[in-house]
Structure 1
Amino acid sequence: MTTTSSGADPDRATADREIVISRAIGAPRELVFEAFTQVRHLSRWWGPEGFTTTTRSFEFRVGGAWDFVMHGPDGTDYQEWITWREIVPPQRIALLHGESRDDPNAFESVLAFEPDGEETRIVMRTVFRTKELRDEAVEKYHAVEGGEQTLSNLAAYVAELTRNDTAHHETTPKGAES
């Protein structure tokens, strides 16, 4: 399994149950955090290549939930549920992710948004309840590749936002911005 981390030593108690994926994104962390925390952004980039997302409900607050369906490229629908457990803008998000609110196989993820010069390094650390659940996620659901593709989609989306913002500022006459 190929993963990268921010250099922090993994917790030895969870090392055989976790996946850590990291990516540098060419934007300030406030913008990367916003793209990860507002449904109008999430629906544009969330998921691996070829997937789309339909949100049923979204409440970004500690204890709030995101109830959504991921539509696979083969037409398979995946029911998904995320409960937000910790939110520290623009630094960190902790969440519980499963198929439903009471999914016994739900996994925990912590996302760190670390400033890295002009970029933001996002580190996604996911811990499963058992090694077997982690192994199933990796082998059956391609969790590592899916996570890397999801962060790649985020990077491309944020790059598009910054390009559009730059183009807007370059084409807007001085004094015309509100």
Structure 2
Amino acid sequence: MMPKLNPNGARAARDHAQGRFATLTFERDVAAPLSVLWQAWTTPAARAVWSAPTPSVIVEFLEADTGVGGREVSLCKVEGQPDIRCECGWLELQPAVRSVNYEVVSSRGVTQSAALVTADFSGADERSRLVVTVQLSALAENMEAGYRQGFDAGLGNLAGVAERTMVLQRVIQAPRTIVWDTWMNPETLPQWWGPDGFSCRTKKIDLRTGGEWVFDMIAPDGTVFPNHHLYIEVRPEERIGYTLLWGENGPKHADAWVSFEDQDGATKVTLGMVLSTAAEFQEAKRFGAVELGLQTLGKLERFIKAR
């Protein structure tokens, strides 16, 4: 989480001698299932959508390894100001229950603050709750105020993102290597992608970081739906992050990800997407996006079994 701060006022040596410590607590009720909120909180593709505290801030992710012992490194960019570097290390991850991470913020190579961030999750049905506790040690001036502003804004963004996020999961009875290879093979992906009865017509396909897939999805009645996937991140056998566009170079429809996890010889596949607006989310639900997405994962499993 990127605090809102002014890097120009740091007087690190004096402040280290004085010491600035604070415990901050933030609470949010979210109109989304607990499993969805957890994905929005931990998944790099979703975090990139909500982490900037204000629209004037651009957050660039340099590293993102969401796992115990993994770390996330990002740069907070504001025009006319030095970049702020934030390093987050994951110490504990109990899915849909709790996460703990450290966070170190620096500017121009000088540490501004260090913090321990604990997030506790609870909820039932379509509503969930998040309580975040930040134990802050600040070396620069005004960091407590910056953290309050940054976390308050970021968690507000998070709630909005979670409320327009879809998460689909399926355990596929095949090893992760096979599932990954079937997904990331330019010959096999178009053969199974899409709901029951749909087919794909590929125009371009380059399945790598920085690559793209331009294709039409063709419904059983012949209706053509132009699609364009831009691949932001490809971590072999772990996850894919991509942007969905309405047709080639069209307007953005969603930020999406797929993760692959071993599960007793099978593979748990999680397909998530943050729709660009609340209206698009509601329209997708009315259109049956959840059911159609689950059909797509079902086609993947049947394709693998048939090979």
Q: Does 1:39 align with 2:186?
A: yes
Q: Per the alignment, do residues 44 and 5 of structure 1 end up closer, same or farther by CA in structure 2, a change over 3 Å counting?
A: farther
Cα shift at 1:105 = 3.6
Distance 1:9 1:145 in 2: 19
Q: 1:124 to 1:9 in 2, by over 3 A?
A: closer
**Cα distance between partner residues in 2 of 1:89 and 1:6:** 24
Taking the aligned partners of 1:4 and 1:121, their CA distance within structure 2 comes to 18
* Equivalent position of 1:19 in the other structure: 166
Q: Return structure 1 stretches of 4+ with deviation > 6 angstroms.
A: none
1:148 partner letter? L
Per-residue deviation, 1:68: 0.5
The 10-residue stretch of structure 1 (95-104 or 131-140) with the greater mean CA deviation from structure 2: 95-104
Report whether the alignment pairs 1:122 with 2:258.
no
Q: Equivalent of 1:112, from 247, 259, 279?
A: 259
| Alignment correspondent of 2:290 | 144
Q: Which residue is equivalent to 1:72?
A: 219
Contact 1:6 1:123 in 2 (8 A): no
Q: Which has the higher strand share?
A: 2
CA spacing shift, 1:136–1:45, aligned 2, 3 Å: same
Task: Give the Cα separation in 2 of the matches to 1:7 and 1:129.
Answer: 17
**Per-residue CA distance 1:89-141 (angstroms, 9 max, x = gap):** 0100001112234333420111010100110000011101221111111113x
Q: What letter matches 2:179 in structure 1?
A: V
- Do structure 1's residue 153 and structure 2's residue 299 form an aligned pair? yes
Whose relative contact order is higher, 1 or 2, with alpha carbons under 8 Å and at least 6 apart? 1
For 2:278, which of 118, 131, 141 is the aligned residue? 131
Cα distance change, pair 5–44 in 1 and its aligned pair in 2 (3 A): farther
Q: 2-side partners of 1:18 and 1:24: how far apart?
A: 20
> Which amino acid letter does the alignment assign opposite residue 33 of structure 1?
W
- Give unmatched runs, 5+ long, in structure 1: 162-178
1:61 maps to a residue whose letter is R
2:175 & 2:34 partners in 1: Cα distance? 21
* 1:87 matched residue in structure 2: 234
Contact 2:167 2:271 in 1 (8 A): yes
Please state how far the C-alpha of 1:9 moved relative to its aligned partner.
Answer: 5.5
Q: Distance in 2 between matches of 1:16 and 1:29?
A: 30
Consecutive unaligned residues in structure 2, runs of 5 or more: 1-32, 42-157
On the 8 A contact 1:5/1:21 being kept in 2, the answer is: no
Q: Are 1:85 and 1:95, in contact at CA under 8 Å, matched by a contact in 2?
A: yes
1:126 match: secondary structure: strand
8 Å CA contact retained: 2:203, 2:215? yes
Q: Distance in 2 between matches of 1:17 and 1:27?
A: 31
Q: Is the CA contact 2:36–2:162 (under 8 Å) kept in the aligned structure 1? A: no
Number of residue-to-residue matches in the alignment: 158
Q: How large is the RMSD of aligned CA atoms in angstroms?
A: 2.0
SS of 1:39's partner is: coil
Per-residue CA shift, 1:72-103, capped at 9, x if unaligned? 00110111110111000010000111223433
For the 8 Å contact 1:4–1:20, the answer to whether it is kept is no
Bigger radius of gyration: 2
Q: Which has the higher helix share?
A: 1
